[in-house]
Amino acid sequence: MSTFNAPKGTFDMLPPYSETFNRIRIQFGLELRDAGFQYIETPTFEETGLFLRGVGESTDIVTKEMYTFEDRGGRSLTLRPEGTAAVMRSVLQHNLYAGRLPVKLWYFGSYYRYERPQAGRTRQFTQVGAEAIGSDDPLVDVEMIALATEGFQKLGLRDFRLLLNSLGCRECRPVYRAKLQEFLRALDLDAETHARIEINPLRVLDDKRPEVQALIADAPLITDHLCEACAEHHTFVRGMLDELEIAYEDTPRLVRGLDYYNRTTFEFVHDGLGAQSAIGGGGRYDGLSEDLGGPDLPSVGWALGIGRTMLAMEAEGQTVETPADCDVYGVAIGDAARRAVFAMITQLRIEDIPADMAFGGKKLKGAMKAASQSGARYAIVVGDRDLTEGVAQIKDLSNGDQTPVPLDRVVTVLKEKLQ
Ligand code: HAM
C-alpha cells in the first residue's frame, strides 16, 4: 500500500511481464540494426509548434490529446505524442541527410496522449519505431512493411493482418477530397460530422457508427482517384508484397490519425484485442521535411505499440521464458563466511557469470530456499567450519550433490562447470 498510485492512464511495467517488454525491444533493435537502421533518441518533450506543424492542427492528437505546458521560461512545450515529427526535426537540425540516403533510424520510447484509457489504450505508451528518410523508392515502403511483419512473426504472432492503402499525393488527393466532400455534404449527417466534412473529410470514412457507415457505403474511394504516379507506386508496393508472400488487405477507407501521410499507408491489426486492435501503423510522409522547413526528403516509416503487442502475444498464448536470476547463488552462515562469499560473488560477476547471494543474515534453511528460487545451477555454501578448513561447498542444485573446493579454486571450478 502507498498513499499514491500511478496516474490515471499510466502503468507500472512489472516483473515478470517486464521481461517480455525488454525482449521485444531487443529483438526489434537487432532486426533493425541488421537491416541498416541506426538508433536515435530524441527528447521526451519538444516545442509545441513542431507537433502543430508536423502532426497537423486538425488531428485529434493535436486538438484533444496533447500534454502541453508552459515551462518556467514561458516556452510552450509538449510531451511527444508520437515519434516521426521529432525524428525528422532531429535529422534536419543535425544535417543527417547530408550523406547516403535514405537515412535509416529506429527508436524506442514513451509517448503521451490524453486519451480515454481502456484496454490497450493508455495515456503513456511505448512504441518501437523505424523511419527511412530521403527516398521515394517504393521498395523502401515494402522493406518497412516486411520488417514489421517479420518482427511480429518472430515474436510468435500469427493472428495479425496488414491493412494497406494509398492516400495519393498533393496532386491527386485534393481532387479526391473535393469529390468526397461533395458526396458527404449531400448526406443527412449531424452537425459535428458536417463540420468534420469541411476540415478533414477522410476522417468521416473512419466513423464507427453503423448508421453513418450505411450512408457512406457508396462514397468515392481514394484508390479509384490516384494520379498516374501514385497508382504506379501503389501497384509496385502491392506487387512486391505479393512476391514476398506478405498477405495484405486492400483497405481504401483506411485513415490514419496523423496529417503527414501520403501514398502508402498501412496498419497492423490483431483480432484478439477488441476495440484497440491496431498493434502498429505507418506510411509515407513525403512532405513532412518541407513542412518543417527542410529540403525535399520523401520518407516512410512505422511505429508499433509495445503494450498492444504484448496483449496480442498474451492472446495467442505466446510467453517469453523468464531466465533464471543467476547461475550461482551464495549461501553464507556466519559473518566471516558472508565476507568470503561476497568476495567470490563479486569475482564471478567480473568473470561474466551471473551471480547473487542471500543477504540480511538469513538462516541456512531460508538461504537455501532463496538459492533454489533464484533458478541458479550451483550454490556456494560456506559455514564457519568450512572457513577454518579453507573450503567452500559447491552444491549442484539440480541433484543436491555437494563437493568441498578450496576457497581460492571456487571461481575457477565454477567457471569450468558452467562452460
Ligand atoms: P500511430 O498509429 O498513432 O502512429 O501509433 C502507432 C501505434 O502506437 C499504434 O498502432 C498503437 O499500437 C500504439 N498506440 C498509439 N496510441 C496508443 C495509446 N494511447 N495507448 C497504447 N498504444 C498506443 C504513429 O505514432 C506514427 N508516428 C507512426 C509512423 C512512424 N508513421 C510513420 N513513421
Query: Read out DSSP for 271-317?
Result: TTSTT--EEEEEEE-TTHHHHTT-----EEEEEEEHHHHHHHHHHTT
Select from 45, 50, 44 the least CA-distant residue to 62. 50
Per-residue cell: 152: 511480429
pLDDT tens, 373-402? 999 999 999 998 999 999 999 999 999 999
As a whole number of angstroms, the distance between CA 122 and CA 113 comes to 8
**CATH 3.40.50.800 domain residues, the chain:** 328-417
Provide the β-strand partners of residue 241: none
pLDDT at residue 177, as a whole number: 95
Residue ranges of the annotated binding site for L-histidine are: 82-84, 113, 127, 131, 256, 260-261
How far does residue 257's CA lie from ligand 1's centre (Å)?
Answer: 9
- Structural contact between residues 40 and 90, judged by C-beta atoms closer than 8 angstroms: yes
Q: Over range 248-268, report the average pLDDT.
A: 95
As separate numbers, helices (DSSP H) first and strands (DSSP E) second, the chain gives 16, 16
Burial 96-120 (b: 16+ CB within 10 A, else e): bbeeebbbbbbbbbebbbebeeeeb
Mutate to test the pocket of ligand 1, among 46, 127, 304 (most ligand atoms within 8 A of CB): 127
pLDDT at residue 417, as a whole number: 95
Provide the β-strand partners of residue 47: 77
- Structural contact between residues 390 and 382, judged by C-beta atoms closer than 8 angstroms: no
Pocket of ligand 1 (CB under 6 A): 82-84, 113, 115, 121-122, 125, 127, 129, 131, 257-258, 278-283, 285, 301-303, 305, 307-308
Atom of ligand 1 nearest to the CA of 115: 19
Q: Over range 291-308, report the average pLDDT.
A: 98
pLDDT tens, 73-114? 999 999 999 999 999 999 999 999 999 999 999 999 999 999
Mutate to test the pocket of ligand 1, among 11, 13, 82, 286 (most ligand atoms within 8 A of CB): 82
From residue 236, give the alpha-carbon distance in Å to each of 53, 101, 132, 139, 300.
30, 20, 18, 8, 15
Which band of pLDDT confidence, cut at 50, 70 and 90, is reported for residue 206? confident
As a whole number of angstroms, the distance between CA 123 and CA 125 comes to 6
How far does residue 81's CA lie from ligand 1's centre (Å)?
Answer: 9
328-417 has which CATH code? 3.40.50.800
Which band of pLDDT confidence, cut at 50, 70 and 90, is reported for residue 38? very high
What is the CATH architecture assignment of 17-172+226-315? 2-Layer Sandwich (3.30)
pLDDT higher than threshold 80 for residue 361: no
**CATH 3.30.930.10 domain residues, the chain:** 17-172+226-315
pLDDT at residue 4, as a whole number: 97
Instruction: Name 401's Cβ contacts closer than 8 Å, sequence gap at least 6.
Output: 395
Q: What is the 3-state secondary structure (H, E, C) of 328-374?
A: EEEEECCHHHHHHHHHHHHHHHHCCCCEEECCCCCCHHHHHHHHHHC
Atom of ligand 1 nearest to the CA of 129: 30
Instruction: Name 385's Cβ contacts closer than 8 Å, sequence gap at least 6.
Output: none
Select from 246, 70, 259, 53 the least CA-distant residue to 170. 259
As a whole number of angstroms, the distance between CA 245 and CA 145 comes to 12
The residue written with cell numbers 460530422 in the block is 193
Instruction: Name 217's Cβ contacts closer than 8 Å, sequence gap at least 6.
Output: none
Share of the chain above pLDDT 70, in %: 100
